Every structure is written in C-alpha cells, then in structure tokens.
Amino acid sequence: MWGIYLDEGSSEIVVSNNVVYNIGWGGLFQHYGANNTIINNVFARTSVIQPPQPGDPIPDGDLRIMNTENHLSWTFTRNI
C-alpha cells in the first residue's frame, strides 16, 4: 500500500499537511503527471516497494525516481 498515490497523469495537485507513517510500501507514488506540489508533509517508517533493478538509480529513503520526463514532475517543499 502506498501512503499517497497520484494516479497516471495527475497534474497540478497540491499534497499538503499529511502524516504518512508505518506503511508497507513507499510514502509517495506518482505515476507520471506534471507540476505537482508536495508541501508540509511527514514521511516516516515507509519502505521501497521493490528492490532496484539493474540500471535503476539507487533509492534514497522514501523517494525513488524511476522514470525521468521532460517537464517538472513535482516540487518538494518543507517535508520531513
């Protein structure tokens, strides 16, 4: 289960003032989308859904970027 899940193509969404704690998968998932703002949230005791595959970037805590796109996908501000 994801803490916060922005489904395919979700854009111009503001995700704010949430506590995501002690869940089985990642704290935040975005399936494509553009210009989303993630602000004033707490992500704690979450894990990565799957181990990295060969060639994937190394996961860093609760955030894993799998695909890059040619636009601003999200802005992270004042999150813990």
Count of domains for the chain: 1
Cα gap 33→17, rounded to integer Å = 21
pLDDT at 11: 94
| Residue range(s) defining the domain that contains residue 18 | 1-80
pLDDT surpasses 60 at 64: no
Q: How confident is the model at residue 39 (pLDDT cuts 50, 70, 90)?
A: very high
CB 43 within 8 A of CB 18: no
